Structure 1
Amino acid sequence: MRELYEDPATPVASGPDRSRRQAAVLARALRGSAAPPVILDIGCGDGTAAATASSTLDELLGEHRLVGVDWSQDALRRASTRLTAVRGELTAPGLPFASGSADAVVFSEVIEHLVDPDAALDELRRVLRPGGHLLLSTPNLAAWYNRALLLAGTQPVFSEVSLRGIHGRPGSQVVGHLRLYTAKALRSLLPASGFTVEGITGAPYHDVPRPLRPLDRLACRAPSLASILLVHARKSGH
C-alpha cells in the first residue's frame, strides 16, 4: 500500500462537484461560529479538493482556517502549493493536533482505503471538539449502476480484487480501495464510533461516462442510489 500511495500516477483527488457540495453542508453547519472555525482536511491528497472547498467556504462562510493532512509525501509536496499541509497518520502516533482542537473534519474518499476504519474514526473523534462536525464522503457500493452490474455478475465499480491490476470490473486504474460502504452501513458504523448522523446526501461521480451523467445526477436525489455518499455527522457526548 505504501508503494501505491507514493506513486505519482495514483489518483489523489476527486471531482470538484463533491467538494463544493460538501463545503456547502459545512458552511451551513459552521455559520455563526464565535471565532473562525478550524477545519482539518484529513487525507487531503494533492490539495485540489481542499482548494475548491476553501473557495466555496470563503463565499458561504467567510473567515476560516483550513489545514490539509496526508500521509503521502508526494501528495503533501503537491498540496503545499495550494494550502497549509502537514503530515499525519490515523494510526499511532496519530494526528499532530491536540484533542478537541478542531471544529470540523473533512474526510473525503479516505475511509474506503483503510485497513482499520474503527481506529481512524476514534482518532477523528479525538481531535474534534464536543459537537464538532465530521464531513465524510465515500463511494457507494449500492450505487445505481453497481446494482445492475452485480445482477449481471460483474464486479462493482470502485471495488478491487488486486493492487496490481483491474479484474472483473469497469475501469482501468487501481486506486487502492479495501472497503466499500452503503448508506445503511454508515448509519450504523458512525453511531457505533461516537458520532450522531445528521444527514446523508448524494453526489455524482466525475468518471461516469458522459451520456450517463444526467442519470447519475438524478440518482443523487435518492442517496442510497447515488455514486458518492456525503455524510454529515457530529461528535456525540464529550
Structure 2
Amino acid sequence: MSVVWPIGNRESDKLERQVILKRLKKIRAQKMLDAGSGQCVFTKQMASIIGANEVHAIDIQAYSNECAEANIHFVTGDLNKSFPYPNGYFDIITSIHTIEHLTDTDSYLDEIFRTLKPGGLLLLDTVNLAALHYRVMLLFGYYPMCMAPSRYKISPAKGEHPPYPHKSVFTYRALIEVARKHGFGLVEGLSHTIYPLPTFLGNIICKIWPNIGLYTSLLFQKPIS
C-alpha cells in the first residue's frame, strides 16, 4: 500500500505531474506560456501533450540555454511585474507551483488575464494552505510547512526536509474566488493527496471535500466576450 507524504516527496510530485498531464490531454492549443517554468523540462512535456507549436517560458532564474534546447522561447523576468508579451497572445498559460512564490499575486493574475486570448485557458496548480494535515498542525500549535517563516524546521513530522518559505499560499476556495475577481471563469477544480492516507483513499475523499487536499489544481477560462 503506497502512502503519500508531504510536499517534495517523489511519489507526491510524480502523482501531481500525472494529474496535470491527464488534464492537458483534453486540451489542444497552439500558443502556450509556462509562467514559472524552471528549466523547461516539464514545460516541454506539457507542450507536447496539448500539441502547442509556439511555446514560451518565463522565470526569474536564467534558463535560456536549457529551454532553447527544447525549442522553447525563454525570457528571464519577474512575475510580480508586467509580462513582456502583447495583449491576447496565448491560447493557454500554465502556472505550476509559481503563485505561492510571488508577493504580488494580483498583478500576476492580471497579467495572465491580459495576455490570454478571449476563451484562453489558465491551468493553475499550487499547494493548499488548508490541507488536512496543515489544519492538524495548526491545532497543535505548529505552522503549516508550506508557509514557514523561518529557515529552521519546526514541525512534529519526521525527516530532515527543509521548510518551504512560500510568500502567498491560498486555500482551495479562496484561490477560486480571487481568480473570479480577476475575471476568470472556473472550468474545473480539483484537489488531491491527503497526508498520510494511501493515494487512492485520499483522492476519493478529495472528490467529496476538495478543500482539504494537499494540492490545488484549477482550470480557468478567460471569457470570450
The TM-score by the shorter chain falls in which range? 0.7 to 0.9
**Structure 1 contact 107–137 (Cα < 8 Å) conserved:** yes
- Asked whether 1:109 is paired with 2:108, we answer no
Q: Spell out, residue by residue over 1:41-88, the C-alpha distance to the aligned partner (whole angstroms, 9 max, x if none).
A: 100112232233234x1xxx4454332211112x55544444513223
Report the secondary structure of 2:26's partner residue: helix
Partner of 2:44: 51
**Structure 1 contact 23–54 (Cα < 8 Å) conserved:** no
Q: Which amino acid aligns with 1:42?
A: A
Report the secondary structure of 1:187's partner residue: helix
CA distance in 2, matches of 1:165, 1:79: 33
Q: CA deviation at 1:186?
A: 1.4
Partner of 1:229: 216
Q: Spell out, residue by residue over 1:179-207, the C-alpha distance to the aligned partner (whole angstroms, 9 max, x if none).
A: 221121012101111111112112338xx
Partner of 1:5: none
CA distance in 1, matches of 2:121, 2:114: 12
After TM superposition, the structure 1 = structure 2 runs for residues 191-202 of structure 1, keeping only pairs within 5 Å, are 191-202=180-191
Report the secondary structure of 2:121's partner residue: strand
CA distance in 1, matches of 2:198, 2:64: 34
Structure 1 pair 124/62, CA: closer, same or farther in 2 (3 Å)? closer
**Structure 1 contact 44–79 (Cα < 8 Å) conserved:** no
Structure 1 pair 62/115, CA: closer, same or farther in 2 (3 Å)? closer
CA distance in 1, matches of 2:174, 2:76: 30
Q: CA deviation at 1:136?
A: 0.4
Partner of 1:120: 108
**Structure 2 contact 79–102 (Cα < 8 Å) conserved:** no
Report the secondary structure of 1:177's partner residue: coil
Range 164-173 or range 116-125, more displaced: 164-173
- Asked whether 1:132 is paired with 2:120, we answer yes
- One of 34, 38, 45 as aligned partner of 2:31: 38
Aligned length: 212
Q: Which amino acid aligns with 1:194?
A: G
**Structure 2 contact 47–55 (Cα < 8 Å) conserved:** yes
Partner of 1:149: 137
Structure 1 pair 18/51, CA: closer, same or farther in 2 (3 Å)? farther
CA RMSD of aligned residues (A): 2.8
Q: TM-score, normalised by structure 1?
A: 0.76
Structure 1 pair 77/143, CA: closer, same or farther in 2 (3 Å)? farther
Q: Which amino acid aligns with 1:199?
A: E
Report the secondary structure of 2:166's partner residue: coil
Q: CA deviation at 1:215?
A: 4.5
Identical pairs, percent: 26
**Structure 1 contact 19–53 (Cα < 8 Å) conserved:** no
**Structure 2 contact 32–52 (Cα < 8 Å) conserved:** no
Structure 1 unaligned runs (5+)?
1-10, 31-35
Q: Spell out, residue by residue over 1:24-54, the C-alpha distance to the aligned partner (whole angstroms, 9 max, x if none).
A: 3234243xxxxx5111110011223223323
Structure 2 unaligned runs (5+)?
1-7
CA distance in 1, matches of 2:223, 2:170: 22
Structure 1 pair 237/177, CA: closer, same or farther in 2 (3 Å)? same
Report the secondary structure of 2:55's partner residue: strand
Range 80-89 or range 118-127, more displaced: 80-89
Q: CA deviation at 1:22?
A: 2.2
